[in-house]
Amino acid sequence: MQFTTTYISLAQQLDQKDELGSFRDRFVIANPDLIYLDGNSLGRLPKPTVDLMSDAVERQWGERLIQGWNDGWVHQPTQLGEKIAQLIGAQPEEVLVCETNSINLFKLAVAALRLRPDRTKIVSDEFNFPSDLYILQGIIDMLGNQHQLELMRSDDSVSITPQAIESLINQDTALVSLTHVAFKSAFMYDIPRVTELAHKAGAMMIWDLCHSVGAVPLHLNEWGVDLAVGCTYKYLNGGPGSPAFIYIRRELQKELVSPLWGWFAAQKPFDFDLDFTPADDISRFRVGSIPVISMLAIEPALDIFIEAGMEKLRRKSIQQTEYLIYLAEQWLYPLGFTMGSPRDPEKRGSHISIRHPEAYRIIRALIEPASPAVRVIPDFRAPDNIRMGIAPLYNTFTDIHRALTRIREIVVNKEYEKFSEERLAVT
Ligand SMILES: *Cc1c(COP(=O)(O)O)cnc(C)c1O
């Protein structure tokens, strides 16, 4: 897509023509002068979730009490799984909503390693989310340090080359564990290609979809994916700390054994049997009681995504990230910024990182402007990335224009100099 002018009128025109434009109204937008570009860390609150939450607390908990479990709470993990399945190209019985992404990766990775007892190598990459790497390191420690974790490296801190992937995956590899869209640069792997490579080498493969679910179309069945995890509080707008999900291809469900034998993983939890017999289906990856309120909050958001459709969403996301890059080229490169994301839209997700030595203080100035200007919320990812998440359901082209206008202003006027370099607890 070619853009020919940096005037805001173009952004306004693009918003008027936007086929998904009406979806913005489905979300609570308390302050229209707050430009929110962090939907990839914590998605906005959908309006229907507000009413559902008061029903959940006042009626479901307040009035129904313990009966709530049989009213439907108990089936939430699989029922929400059915809806997520529609967004990731899976069968309804292949997805379970439970725990956190880190715990789900732990369960799946241990189960997968058990199916490759003679192999000792685990392959990941230097772009992976640290929690994923720590979980893998912890598993190696727990299993008696029999495995080695090898990380594919990047030549340019933006992408991983096919050569880097091919050189590490081989006959010694028990497990390949990668994040589909890198949290920092937004680099996106070719899932079918890498999965085929791993499977051909005889390795198990787990994809982490935290930065892709709700941002890019996923076709896990068609792509031959066996195992995946992902979270619901980022692009999916499930709410702060909302439970994560697990995908296990149907044919593998009976073979994989979760290392956490909680009562809800059992075939008949309410028989209170003294010995554990795992459920036959994906429920064997459940553990204990679920956080019902957080769980309920996920559903309205999923319904919005199903209605909008991932293909349309992706089209808009590409148009918007392209527009952001165009404005950055015109305005910000001359001020010392560089691109921290792949230039090819087919090779990146729905966020863009731009880099600047003063990134941290620029972000502080964006979030806390001295005069009552437009306030912009992106986030900072060390060492020098300003990361901007584009959530096409509620971000407008005008948002992008206003955000980049502010970044330019802050740098030209050196507004960031008023801020300390000391990092806050959450950046
Ligand atoms: C956000 C994110 C996580 C977070 O894991 P939690 O257990 O939900 O805190 C893990 N992996 C990736 C790739 C992420 O983007």
Return the CATH number at 251: 3.40.640.10
Chain segment 189-221, per-residue pLDDT in tens: 999 999 999 999 999 999 999 999 999 999 999
State whether 334 and 299 are in the same domain: no
Taking only the tens place, the pLDDT of each residue in 36-51 is: 999 999 999 999 999 9
> Looking at residue 33, which CATH number applies to its domain?
3.90.1150.10
Q: Which position among 233, 285, 326, 394 bears the catalytic label?
A: 233
pLDDT single digits (tens) 380-394: 999 999 999 999 999
Amino acid at 67: Q
Instruction: List, in sequence order, the alpha helices (H) in 286-358.
Output: 292-296, 298-308, 310-327
**CA nearest ligand 1 atom 2, residue:** 210
User: Are 203 and 225 in the same domain?
Assistant: yes
Does residue 179 have its Cβ closer than 6 Å to ligand 1? yes
357-379 pLDDT per residue, tens: 999 999 999 999 987 679 999 99
pLDDT of residue 243: 98
The verdict on the CB of residue 100 being under 6 Å from ligand 1 is yes
Q: Which helix (H) or strand (E) holds 98?
A: strand 95-98
pLDDT at 370: 83
Residue 94 has pLDDT above 90, yes or no: yes
Percent helix, strand and coil across the chain, each to the nearest 5: 45, 15, 40
Residue 53 lies in a domain: no
pLDDT in tens, 318-329: 999 999 999 999
Q: Is the distance from the beta carbon of residue 299 to the nearest atom of ligand 1 less than 6 Å? A: no
Which of 306, 338, 365 is at the close of a domain? 306
Q: Domain end: 266, 290, 306, which one? A: 306
Whether 247 is catalytic is no
| Spatial distance between the Cα atoms of 184 and 349, rounded to a whole number of angstroms | 11
Q: Are residues 215 and 104 in the same domain?
A: yes
- Which atom of ligand 1 lies closest to the CA of 104? 7
* 66 is a domain residue: no
Span from the CA of 285 to the centroid of ligand 1 (angstroms)? 18
pLDDT at 427 over 80: no
**Ligand 1 geometric centre to CA of 131 (Å):** 7
Catalytic residue among 387, 397, 399, 408: 387
pLDDT of residue 44: 98
DSSP 33: T
Please name the residue whose Cα sits nearest to atom 14 of ligand 1. 210
d(CA 40, CA 193): 25
Asked whether residue 108 falls in the same domain as residue 256, the answer is yes
Q: Model confidence over 98-133: pLDDT tens digits?
A: 999 999 999 999 999 999 999 999 999 999 999 999
pLDDT of residue 2: 87
| 112 and 253 in a common domain | yes
Q: Are 265 and 287 in contact (CB under 8 A)?
A: yes
Q: Are 182 and 290 found together in one domain?
A: yes
Domain count, the chain: 2
106, 135, 231: residue to mutate for ligand 1 pocket, most atoms within 8 A of CB: 231
Residue among 147, 131, 135, 144 at smallest CA distance from 109: 135
Q: Answer whether residue 127 is part of any domain.
A: yes
Put residue 114 in one of left, alpha, beta given phi > 0 → left and psi -120 to 50 → alpha.
alpha
Answer whether residue 186 is part of any domain.
Answer: yes
Residue 423 banded pLDDT, cuts 50, 70, 90: confident
Distance of alpha carbon 283 from alpha carbon 347, whole angstroms: 34
Q: Mean pLDDT over residues 50-69, rounded?
A: 98
The verdict on the CB of residue 210 being under 6 Å from ligand 1 is yes
Whether 207 lines ligand 1, by a CB cut-off of 6 Å, is: no
Please indicate whether residue 212, judged by its CB atom, sits closer than 6 Å to ligand 1.
no
Residue carrying structure tokens 């049989």: 70
44, HSE (Cβ side, Cα atoms, 13 Å): 26
pLDDT of residue 1: 72
For residues 340 and 275, membership in a common domain is answered with no
User: 423: which residues sit within 8 A by CB, 6+ positions away?
Assistant: 360
Whether residue 150 lies inside any domain: the answer is yes
Domain assignment present for 396: yes
Which residues lie below 8 Å from residue 351, measured CB to CB, with a gap of 6+? 40, 186, 211, 215, 321, 341, 387, 388, 389, 390
Residue 222 CB neighbours (<10 A): 11
Rg (CA), the chain: 22
Is the domain of 191 the same as that of 81? yes
My answer on whether 280 and 161 are in the same domain is yes
Q: Does 340 share its domain with 317?
A: yes
- Domain identity same for 244 and 373: no
Among 254, 273, 306, the domain boundary falls at 306
Tokens of 193: 């290609």
Query: Which atom of ligand 1 has the smallest separation from the CA of 233?
Result: 8
Residues 199 and 230 in one domain: yes
* 231 in contact with ligand 1, CB cutoff 6 A: yes
Q: Answer whether 363's CB lies under 8 Å from 395's CB.
A: no
- Structural domain contains residue 96: yes
Provide the domain limits for residue 177: 72-306
- Give yes or no: 387 in active site: yes
